[in-house]
Chain A
Amino acid sequence: MSPKPIQSEQSAASRAGRALFVALLAGAAIAVARAADEQPIDRGSTVRPATVFDFPDRSGKPLGQLPPNAPLEVYERQRLWLRVKPPAGLAGPAGWVQLMDMRMGFGVAPALAPAAAAPARAAPVPAADPGMFASFSRSVSGLLAGFQSRPSSYAGSNATIGIRGLTGAELNASSPNWQALAEVERYAMPPQQAQLFANAGGLVPQHILYPTSPAPAPAAQTSPFERPSPFGGRPR
């Protein structure tokens, strides 16, 4: 038997390997390029010391710890997990943090508007470690500025009341607006139309019972949803 075919196969395997390697390199390059272009989908800051994981689960490998009030840019969300990076110019680990450890901003488009645009309003949290997160205050002001820069009146509405600071006293003193009630009652939606709306949005109903107690035991033997409702309603 001639060894040639074998050499040929080896050669083919080698070529395939090289091709794969090149492809992987190219893929990695594209991924790097994409990462460089990646735009945050949201912004927020930690509310307490938060662990950064390499994977969106507490079983993931911890990559580092963030202090409270660390500003972060969010690039991806998986339910209660956010893939985050520190904003440009700030050091800190990048990876996955839990949503529960965060307070979130108001979208990203106008979020980093000049801090001067934000009215003098108390920032919701004190400034963080000035060394590592020196620009935190500016970042939070930016978060708020994005929301505050939006218009505060509504198209088609001639309402001038209630623009700011609706209070309990105002509610107590208000007179019934029957015309407004009649107007909003006209928008009531028949169930059939709601069903069509749900279908169009891909909403698939699920069978879930109410949870059983205000503070479910963490190590329940059976599913906590398979017992009677504590809310008084009949389980579905």
Chain B
Amino acid sequence: MKPASFLRTAFFMFAGFAAPGHALDLGGMLQNLDVNKVVATGQKLSAATQEMPVDEEIGLGRELAARILGAAPPLADPAVQAYVNQVGRWLTLHTERPDLPWHFAVAATDDVGAFATPGGSVILTAGLLRLMRDENELAGVLAHEIAHVVHKHHVRAIMKRARAQLATELATELAAQYVAKNPLVTQALLGAGMSLYGSGLDQGDEYAADRAGMVIAARAGYDPTGLVYLLTTLDSLGVGDARMQLLSATHPPTRSRIDALAALADQLAGYTGSLQDGGRFAHIQESLLR
């Protein structure tokens, strides 16, 4: 992300903890900082968007996706990557944010997991793809991740964490600095983001993404119970499996997720999906196992 793209976010974030609602007495530590100017600018931006601006969301998401790919590099199989992008992009057309620069990737690892970063990057592990039976299940997982992006679960969690971190660090180290130019802001956002992928979102966001994902999959013509079926498979692997380590640490218990979807699955009973994939999913899985 260009450093300049953090400027507005920095104002916004600073306003977030310097505003009365988040009263924080920085006292003499900020004596050289034009607090009024920063707060005024931040409030103006905050009033205008109430959110991180989209270009900054995309930039932050790319930074985070590059780091996830640094730990789990992409699978070198163009057919698999193109296939997952086709399923994923079709799903995004049935959301409230079809115009983001969506892209989907399969990471070459046996671990079972999927990641979404702000702005439309979705990374799925080959280990998870191998557990699936059909394209409905793939659509279920991708739609869950897409729901996180559409409803900005990560952006909000990152902003919240970074604000808390900056409040402390600014008070001790940043007293005389012009806040938006300080690299701590950048570091706080990226640090908050990466720690989020190790510790997980609020459990409520995960349940919400399960539910919204089922609806998105059904909108796109898939059988929305694909996600439920895949979850029953993950339930067999269990928390003791090394491949499930990160997923187990970052998500509610699989059985709870399954049970939480029962009522919605009943409500969506009329949507059975119309998929006739002509063997394309099986072909992709074979190429994974070659």
A128 at the interface (CB under 8 A from B): no
CB distance from A194 to the nearest CB of B (A): 4
B25 at the interface (CB under 8 A from A): no
Interface-facing stretch out of A11-19, A27-35, A84-92, A227-235: A227-235
Partner pick for A147 among B131, B204, B229, CB 8 A cutoff: B131
Q: Which residues of B contact A155 (CB under 8 A)?
A: 76-77, 287, 290
A6 at the interface (CB under 8 A from B): no
Q: Please determine whether A215 and B263 come into contact, CB atoms closer than 8 angstroms.
A: yes
Q: Please determine whether A165 and B208 come into contact, CB atoms closer than 8 angstroms.
A: no
The answer to whether residues A206 and B68 also contact, given A121-B240, A150-B130, A180-B74 and a CB cut-off of 8 A, is: no
Q: Which residues of A contact B183 (CB under 8 A)?
A: none
A197 at the interface (CB under 8 A from B): yes
B90 at the interface (CB under 8 A from A): yes
Q: Please determine whether B271 and A208 come into contact, CB atoms closer than 8 angstroms.
A: yes
Q: Please determine whether A206 and B271 come into contact, CB atoms closer than 8 angstroms.
A: yes
A210 at the interface (CB under 8 A from B): yes
A127 at the interface (CB under 8 A from B): no
Interface-facing stretch out of B29-37, B40-48, B96-104, B160-168: B96-104
Q: Which residues of B contact A198 (CB under 8 A)?
A: 90, 220-221
Q: Please determine whether A154 and B288 come into contact, CB atoms closer than 8 angstroms.
A: yes
The answer to whether residues A163 and B221 also contact, given A171-B68, A194-B90 and a CB cut-off of 8 A, is: no
Q: Please determine whether B276 and A202 come into contact, CB atoms closer than 8 angstroms.
A: yes
A184 at the interface (CB under 8 A from B): yes
Q: Please determine whether A187 and B212 come into contact, CB atoms closer than 8 angstroms.
A: no
The answer to whether residues A214 and B82 also contact, given A169-B198, A198-B220 and a CB cut-off of 8 A, is: no
Partner pick for A189 among B82, B236, B269, CB 8 A cutoff: B82
A102 at the interface (CB under 8 A from B): yes
The answer to whether residues A104 and B233 also contact, given A152-B110, A201-B276, A201-B280 and a CB cut-off of 8 A, is: yes
The answer to whether residues A233 and B207 also contact, given A47-B235, A187-B103 and a CB cut-off of 8 A, is: no
A185 at the interface (CB under 8 A from B): yes
Q: Please determine whether B207 and A157 come into contact, CB atoms closer than 8 angstroms.
A: no
CB distance from A73 to the nearest CB of B (A): 15
The answer to whether residues A124 and B81 also contact, given A159-B73, A233-B95, A236-B94 and a CB cut-off of 8 A, is: no
Partner pick for B86 among A44, A47, A80, A193, CB 8 A cutoff: A193
Interface-facing stretch out of B4-12, B14-22, B58-66, B172-180: B58-66
Q: Which residues of A contact B94 (CB under 8 A)?
A: 205, 236
- Measured in the bound complex, the distance between the Cα atoms of B93 and A195 in whole Å is 9
CB distance from B49 to the nearest CB of A (A): 14
Q: How many residues of B contact A (CB 8 A)?
A: 109
Chain B residue nearest to A234 in the complex (CB): B96
Q: Please determine whether B233 and A106 come into contact, CB atoms closer than 8 angstroms.
A: yes
- Measured in the bound complex, the distance between the Cα atoms of B67 and A47 in whole Å is 38
The answer to whether residues A216 and B267 also contact, given A103-B232, A162-B71, A184-B74 and a CB cut-off of 8 A, is: yes
Q: Please determine whether A174 and B81 come into contact, CB atoms closer than 8 angstroms.
A: no
B225 at the interface (CB under 8 A from A): yes
Q: Please determine whether B71 and A166 come into contact, CB atoms closer than 8 angstroms.
A: yes
Q: Please determine whether B240 and A122 come into contact, CB atoms closer than 8 angstroms.
A: yes
Contacts of A184-224 to chain B: CB distance below 8 A: 184-185, 187-191, 193-195, 197-198, 200-211, 214-216, 218, 224
Q: Please determine whether B211 and A165 come into contact, CB atoms closer than 8 angstroms.
A: no
Partner pick for A177 among B69, B76, B278, B287, CB 8 A cutoff: B69
Q: Please determine whether A174 and B67 come into contact, CB atoms closer than 8 angstroms.
A: yes
Pick from B96, B199, B240 the residue with the most CB of A within 10 Å.
B96
Contacts of A89-109 to chain B: CB distance below 8 A: 99-100, 102-107
Q: Which residues of B contact A209 (CB under 8 A)?
A: 215
Pick from A122, A154, A177, A194 the residue with the most CB of B within 10 Å.
A154
- Interface residues, chain A, CB within 8 Å of chain B? 42, 44, 47, 79-80, 99-100, 102-107, 121-122, 124, 140, 143-144, 147, 150-152, 154-159, 161-178, 180-181, 183-185, 187-191, 193-195, 197-198, 200-211, 214-216, 218, 224-225, 231-234, 236
Residue contacts A-B, CB under 8 angstroms, 27 given: A47-B235, A79-B272, A99-B225, A99-B229, A103-B233, A104-B236, A106-B233, A124-B238, A147-B237, A154-B75, A155-B290, A161-B73, A163-B109, A164-B110, A171-B197, A177-B66, A187-B81, A190-B89, A191-B89, A191-B98, A202-B221, A202-B276, A203-B222, A206-B218, A206-B220, A214-B208, A233-B95
Q: Return the 7 tightest CB-CB contacts between A and B, nearest first.
A: A168-B198, A203-B221, A176-B66, A124-B238, A162-B109, A156-B76, A184-B105
Given A80-B265, A100-B258, A154-B108, 16 extra CB contacts under 8 A: A99-B228, A103-B236, A124-B240, A155-B287, A156-B75, A161-B71, A168-B198, A174-B68, A177-B73, A187-B81, A197-B87, A198-B90, A205-B221, A206-B219, A231-B147, A232-B151
